[in-house]
Structure 1
Amino acid sequence: MDAIFLLPIIQLSVVFIFTGIVAFLLKLLKQPLIPAYILAGILLGPVFQLIKDAEFISLLSELGIAFLLFFAGLEFSFEKIKKISIPAIIIGFLQVSASFILGFYLAGWLNFGFLPAVYIGLILAFSSTLIAVKIFSDRRELDTLHGRISIAILLLQDLFAVWALAILPEAQNPWAMGYPLLATFALIFIIVFASKYSLPPVFRYAAQFPELLFLTAMSVCFAYIFAAEVLGLSIAIGAFVAGMGLAQLPYSREISGLIRPLRDFFIVLFFVFLGMQLAPFNPGLLWVFFLFLFISIFIKPFIIFFFSSILGYEARTGFFSGISLGQLSEFSLILATQAFLSGIFSQEFFSFVVLLTVTSMLVSTYAIHHKSGVYGKLSRILRPFEKLAIKKVKYSYQARSEKKIVIFGCHRMGSIFLNRLKKSLRSIIVVDHNPEVIESLMKEKVSCIYGDMENPEILESLDLSQIKLIISTVPDDDANAFLIRYVKARNPEIKIFVTSDHLKQVPKLYELGADYVILPHFLSGESVARIIRAVLSGKKELSDIRYRHVEHLKKIKVYG
C-alpha cells in the first residue's frame, strides 16, 4: 500500500484503538464518555506524543464540526421555533447579551484590542449544544421544562453564532461586513425555497430506500458546504444551513437517525483532537484562565437562573437550565480557530481557549450529572430568588379533595392507569416533568404538579400521611430507588408500584421496599402469549381480538 495513504490509516487506527480503551476503562468507573475522548487526546498528543502530525485528524475533526452543525440544523424546524415560549427567548437574548458585554469589557480591562475583545465576549457567551443535547437525551430530559428552556436558549445562541461567523472575518473592513451576511441570507433563502418546492419530491422518492435517503441528505449537506466555501463563508455555516433546510421536510427524523452514527464517529475525533491541541501557555495567564472559567461555569448559569426567576420560573427549573449551559461551546472553538487563522489570536492564546473550552466541558459534564445533589445543597440560598418573579409560571392544579393515590409519569402507561382509575380521579394527583402533559391534565381538571420524583420539594408537598398508593411509571431504577427509600422512611404503610426495564434490578428494588415492580416488556409479552394461545387453540378469532383492541385504543386518552 502506498505510504501516503498508510500513515493516515495508521493514525486513525491508533486514535480509535487508544480512545476505545480509555473510554471503556472510564465507563467501568461510571464516568461520562466525553471526558474520556478528551483525555485520550491529551494522552495521544501532549503526554505520549503518539500522534505528532495531527493534520489528518484535524481535517476529520473539522468534518466533525460540520456534521455536528448539520445535525443541529436538523433540529431547527420552523415548527419547533413556533413552540419556543416568549420567556425562553427573552432569557436567551438577555443571557447572550449579558455574557458578551461582561466578556468584552473584561477583555478590554485586560488590555486586549477591540477585535480580540469581541471574539472573547462571543466565546464566553455561547454554550455547547452537543454537551447539553447529548446529556438531556441520555437522561430523558429533553421534554422537561428546564430541557425545553435550555434548548430554546441554545437555538438562539446558534443563530447569534452563525451570524458572528459570517460577519467577523470582515470585521477589520466594516464596509465589507455586509457581504458575508447577505451571502448567508442568500444560502438560507435558497435552502428554504428548495425545501418547500424542489426537495420534497426528491426526498419522497429517496425515503423509500434508507441508503438513498442517507446519500441524498449527505449530498445536500456537502453541496452547501461547497457553496459556503466558494462564497468565502465558513463550512460550518454551509452545514448548518443545509440541516436547517432538511429540518422542514417530513423525513428529518429518519435523516437524523441515519446520520447519527456518522456524526458520532466524527465527533469522537473532534474531542480527541481538542485534547491533542492542549499545549502549555504563559503561567502569567493562569489567573485569567480561572477568571474566564469562573464566568463560564458560574456566572453564565447564574445569569440564566436570575432571569428565569424574574420571569416566574421556579428556582429548581432556573438552576437546572443554567447549570446545563455552564460551559463553552463548539462554536467557541470555531470562533477561536477563525480568530487564530485571521491573526487576531496568537498560537498561545488559541491553545489557552482550547484548554478553557475543554476544562469547562469537563467540569460541566460532571456538574450536570450531579445537579440534583448540588441544588439540594443550595436550595435555601436559591429559593428566595423566586420572590423576584414578575408573574409566576404555574404548572399545577389541585382539586379540593383528599389525595390517596400518586402517579409519577403520565404519558403512555400513566395515561392508562389514569383512565382505569377514573372512579377514584378526585383522590389522584399526578406528578410529571413534561409541561405539555401537565397542561393537558390542567385542562381536564386533574390534580397535577410539574416535577419529578427525585425532587424533595415535590415529595414534601405531598401529604404522605394520607397517601395509600404510589405508582411510578418512570423506568429509572436510581430514581425509583430514591423514591422507595424516601417514602418508606416516612410512611412504611404506603404501597409502592415502580417500573423497571431491567430484570436484574427487580430483586434490588424489592429489597428496598417496593411492593410491586412493573416490567412492561415482560407483561406485554405474557399478554400477547395468552392471545396467541387463544388463537391457536381456536377459542378466539384473531379478527375479533383485533377489532376489540382497536375499539379499546380509541377510548384511551393519552396526555401530553
Structure 2
Amino acid sequence: MTTALTTLAEATGGVPLAVDLMVILFVAALVATVFARLRLESIPGFLIAGVLIGPGALGLVQDSPRIEQISQLAVIFLMFGVGLHLDPSTMGRGAVHILGIGAISTVSVMGLSAVVLMAAGVDPPVAVLLGMVAGQSSTSVLVRLVTARREIRTVHSRVGLGISIVQDLSAVVLLGLLPPLARWSGVSAAPTAARFEWMEGLPRWAEFIASAAVSTAGLAFLIVLGRAVLPRAMRAVAVTGSSELMIVFAAAIALGAAVGSRVLGFSAEMGAFLAGFLLASTPYRHQLSGQIASLRDVLMAVFFTAVGLSVDAGAVAGVWWIVGLCAVGLVVLKTAVIGVTGWALGMSPRSALLTGFYLSTAGEIALVLVGPAVALGLLSGETLDATIAVIVLSLIVVPLGAPLVHALGDRAAGWRQAGWVKSAALLEPAPVPVKDGEGEGGGPSHVVIAGFGPVGRAIADRLDLMSVPVTIVELNPRTIERQAQIGRRRVVYGDIGNPEVLDSAGVRGARAVIITIPDDEVAMRAIRAARSLAPDVFIAARTNFLSGAFKAQQLGADHVTVEEVATADAMQREVIEALRRRDGGLSVSPTA
C-alpha cells in the first residue's frame, strides 16, 4: 500500500502533500462516519483514523512538517471561532455563580490531576501540563447531549455552557504557560516575549522585564486598535453584500492577528482568539462563524488526524489497562469536582450531577494544548500515546454513559440543597402547564422572520399587534442598525440559510420560522437547515413559482405562499373591481 501511494505521489507531479491529505481526509471521513452511526462524536474518530494510517500502524502517512503547518492553520481558525462564540450573555440568570463554578472547578481539576500524577511518579512539569489538559472539556459533546435530549433550556445546559466559556478563556492563558513549563522541564523552548537588538547587553532580569513590557504594550495596542477598527471595517465589508468578501476578510483578520501576536512573543493561537473575541460584540459574529465553519471543520479534521499520526498503537496496547484506568478516573474526578462545586454554589443535586458528567470529557481544546507541548518537547513517547488514548476514551465513554447518569440524577432529585446558599438563580424552575402559544419557558414563543422587506415588515407589524415577540434575520446592515436603534425587536445579522445564524436567532425554541426573502435557492437552504435544527417548528415560506412550492414542502415547509399565484389572485380581483367601478355595468363577479 505504501509503495502504491509513493507511485501515486510521483504520478501527481511529485506532490506528496496532496496524496497525504487525500489519505487523511478519506480515512478520517470513513472512520468518523462509523462513529456518527454509533451516535458518537467525530473527534475520536479522527484521532483513531490518524493512529490507523500513521507510522505506528499501517504507515500510509508519515508525520511531516507540511501536515504540521496545516494543523497549525487549523488551530488558528479554531481559536478564532472560539473567540467569536464567547458570549457571556448565554449564561443568563446567575452569571456570577456560573463564573464561580467554572473558575473553581477548572482550577481544582487541574490541581488535583497534577497532584495525583506527581504521586504516581510523573515528572512535575509534565504532571502540571497533563493537569492543564484534564481541566478542558468538550463543548461539542455537551451541546450534542443537551440537544439530543432536548435540554437546551435547562439549568445544567446553561451552567455547562458558562463553564465552557471559562475553560476557553483559561486555555488562552495556559497556552502562554507552555514555554515556562518547557524551561522548567529542561527542554529548549521558544521565547515567550519579543526580543530586540537594543536589549543586548542588559542584565538577564532587565532583559526579561523589558521584553515582557514591550510585548504586553504591543498586545494592548493591538487590542485597542482592533476594537476601534475591526467593527468599522467589518461593517464596510458587510455593506457590499458579498459573502465571499466577508469570509476572505475574516480569514485575513484571523491570520493577521496570529502573526502579530507571534511577532510580539505570544502564541499565534492567542492572537487568533483575541481577534475573534473582538468581533464577538459585533452583529456579524454569527454570519462569520457560520461562513468559516466549513473551512474550519476540514482543517480540524486534518489537525485531529495529524495528532493521531504521532500515536504508537502498539505502545498503547501494551499499557491498555493504565489508559482505561486513567480515562475512568478522569471522568469520575471531573464529574465529582464540577458536580460538588455546582451543588455548593446553588445548583440542585440533579443538575450539578448532570453538569459534571456532561463536562467530564477531555475536549478539543485539550488537544490544542497537546500540539504545542509536543513541539516544545514537553510530551513524547508513551506519555503522549497514553494522553491521546485517554482523551479518545473519555469522548467515547461519556455519550454512552449519559442514560445511566440520567437515571442516577433522577434519584438525586430528592437530595438536599446546600443549606448555606440563599440564591435560587441556579435552581430549575417549577414546572408549569404550557398553554397554547407559549414556549417551554412559560412565556410566549417568538417568531423568526427571515428578510425585512415589505412582506417581512407587514408580518412583523401584525405580530406586534398580537404581542408575539419577533426576531428578525436580515443581511442589510443598515436595516439591522435601524431596528436595533428602535429596540422593539431582536435583530440578527446573517444569511438565514446559515445554520449558525438560525441557531443564534433561537430557531430551536421558536413558535414559527417565516421565510419572506424573494430568493428560492436561499429559501430552500433555510427550510432544510431550520427543519434539521428544529423538527417540530412551524415553517412558512415564500417562493416565486409553483414548482418551488412543491420542493419547499418536500424539504419540510408547512405552508408555502407562491408569489405568482398570489399575484394572479390579487391582480384578477383588483382589475375586475377597478373595471366594475369604471364601467358600472361589467357583469363579472369580483370574486370570480
Pick the TM interval, shorter chain: 0.5 to 0.7
What's 1:384 paired with?
415
Is 1:219 equivalent to 2:255 in the alignment?
Answer: no
What's 1:332 paired with?
366
Alpha-carbon deviation of 1:407? 5.9
Is 1:374 equivalent to 2:443 in the alignment?
Answer: no
> What CA distance in whole angstroms lies between the structure 1 residues aligned with 2:435 and 2:375?
65
Q: 1:29 to 1:380 in 2, by over 3 A?
A: closer
What's 2:398 paired with?
364
> What CA distance in whole angstroms lies between the structure 2 residues aligned with 1:30 and 1:38?
16
> What CA distance in whole angstroms lies between the structure 1 residues aligned with 2:138 and 2:212?
23
Alpha-carbon deviation of 1:222? 0.9
> What CA distance in whole angstroms lies between the structure 1 residues aligned with 2:104 and 2:317?
34
What's 1:40 paired with?
49
Is 1:19 equivalent to 2:34 in the alignment?
Answer: no
Secondary structure, counterpart of 1:98 in structure 2:
helix
What's 2:121 paired with?
111
> What CA distance in whole angstroms lies between the structure 2 residues aligned with 1:474 and 1:374?
31
Alpha-carbon deviation of 1:300? 0.5
What's 1:193 paired with?
224
> What CA distance in whole angstroms lies between the structure 2 residues aligned with 1:64 and 1:138?
28
Letter in 1 for 2:388: V
Query: What are the Cα deviations for residues 327-349 of structure 1, in whole angstroms up to 9, with x where unaligned?
Result: 11333333334443333333221
Q: 1:404 to 1:99 in 2, by over 3 A?
A: closer
Letter in 1 for 2:280: A
Q: 1:133 to 1:338 in 2, by over 3 A?
A: same
> What CA distance in whole angstroms lies between the structure 1 residues aligned with 2:443 and 2:562?
17
- The answer for unaligned runs of 5 or more in structure 2 is 1-9, 185-203, 448-508, 513-533, 540-553, 577-592
What's 2:161 paired with?
151
Q: 1:307 to 1:233 in 2, by over 3 A?
A: same
Identity %: 23
Report the structure number with the largest CA radius of gyration: 2
Secondary structure, counterpart of 2:265 in structure 1:
coil
What's 1:507 paired with?
none
Q: 1:231 to 1:309 in 2, by over 3 A?
A: same
Letter in 2 for 1:104: A
What's 2:349 paired with?
315
- The answer for unaligned runs of 5 or more in structure 1 is 417-471, 476-497, 504-518, 542-560
What's 1:257 paired with?
290
CA contact (8 A) 1:150 1:321 kept: yes
Is 1:125 equivalent to 2:135 in the alignment?
Answer: yes
- Pairing partner for 1:247 from 264, 280, 286: 280
Letter in 1 for 2:560: G
Q: 1:48 to 1:282 in 2, by over 3 A?
A: closer
Query: What are the Cα deviations for residues 351-378 of structure 1, in whole angstroms up to 9, with x where unaligned?
Result: 22122222222223444xxx35531245
Secondary structure, counterpart of 2:249 in structure 1:
helix
Q: 1:134 to 1:186 in 2, by over 3 A?
A: farther
Alpha-carbon deviation of 1:177? 8.0
CA contact (8 A) 2:350 2:409 kept: no
Q: 1:142 to 1:269 in 2, by over 3 A?
A: farther
Alpha-carbon deviation of 1:186? 4.3
CA contact (8 A) 2:146 2:157 kept: yes
Query: What are the Cα deviations for residues 19-51 of structure 1, in whole angstroms up to 9, with x where unaligned?
Result: 333334444555543343333323322443222
Secondary structure, counterpart of 2:27 in structure 1:
helix
Alpha-carbon deviation of 1:6? 1.7
CA contact (8 A) 1:306 1:385 kept: no
What's 1:289 paired with?
323
> What CA distance in whole angstroms lies between the structure 2 residues aligned with 1:44 and 1:84?
47
Query: What are the Cα deviations for residues 42-80 of structure 1, in whole angstroms up to 9, with x where unaligned?
Result: 332244322234443333222222211110011235766
Is 1:299 equivalent to 2:333 in the alignment?
Answer: yes
CA contact (8 A) 1:289 1:352 kept: yes
> What CA distance in whole angstroms lies between the structure 2 residues aligned with 1:127 and 1:184?
30
Letter in 2 for 1:500: D
How many residue pairs end up in the alignment? 446
Alpha-carbon deviation of 1:156? 1.4
Measured on the aligned residues, the alpha-carbon RMSD in Å equals 4.2
What's 2:573 paired with?
538
CA contact (8 A) 2:335 2:353 kept: yes
> What CA distance in whole angstroms lies between the structure 2 residues aligned with 1:284 and 1:21?
26
Secondary structure, counterpart of 1:525 in structure 2:
strand
> What CA distance in whole angstroms lies between the structure 1 residues aligned with 2:563 and 2:443?
18
CA contact (8 A) 2:88 2:162 kept: no
What's 2:549 paired with?
none
What's 2:560 paired with?
525
Alpha-carbon deviation of 1:285? 5.3
Is 1:99 equivalent to 2:102 in the alignment?
Answer: no
Is 1:202 equivalent to 2:211 in the alignment?
Answer: no
> What CA distance in whole angstroms lies between the structure 2 residues aligned with 1:138 and 1:4?
47
CA contact (8 A) 2:349 2:412 kept: no
> What CA distance in whole angstroms lies between the structure 1 residues aligned with 2:88 and 2:303?
29
Q: How high is the TM-score relative to the length of structure 1?
A: 0.68
1:27-66 equivalence runs, <5 A: 27-28=36-37, 30-45=39-54, 46-66=56-76
CA contact (8 A) 1:74 1:243 kept: yes
> What CA distance in whole angstroms lies between the structure 2 residues aligned with 1:293 and 1:349?
14
Query: What are the Cα deviations for residues 177-200 of structure 1, in whole angstroms up to 9, with x where unaligned?
Result: 878976775465334312332223
Alpha-carbon deviation of 1:159? 2.2
Secondary structure, counterpart of 1:150 in structure 2:
helix
> What CA distance in whole angstroms lies between the structure 2 residues aligned with 1:51 and 1:4?
18
Is 1:7 equivalent to 2:16 in the alignment?
Answer: yes
CA contact (8 A) 2:358 2:398 kept: yes
Alpha-carbon deviation of 1:539? 6.8
Is 1:278 equivalent to 2:311 in the alignment?
Answer: yes
Letter in 1 for 2:168: D
Q: How high is the TM-score relative to the length of structure 2?
A: 0.64
Q: 1:275 to 1:382 in 2, by over 3 A?
A: farther
Q: 1:131 to 1:275 in 2, by over 3 A?
A: farther
CA contact (8 A) 1:228 1:237 kept: yes
Letter in 2 for 1:263: R
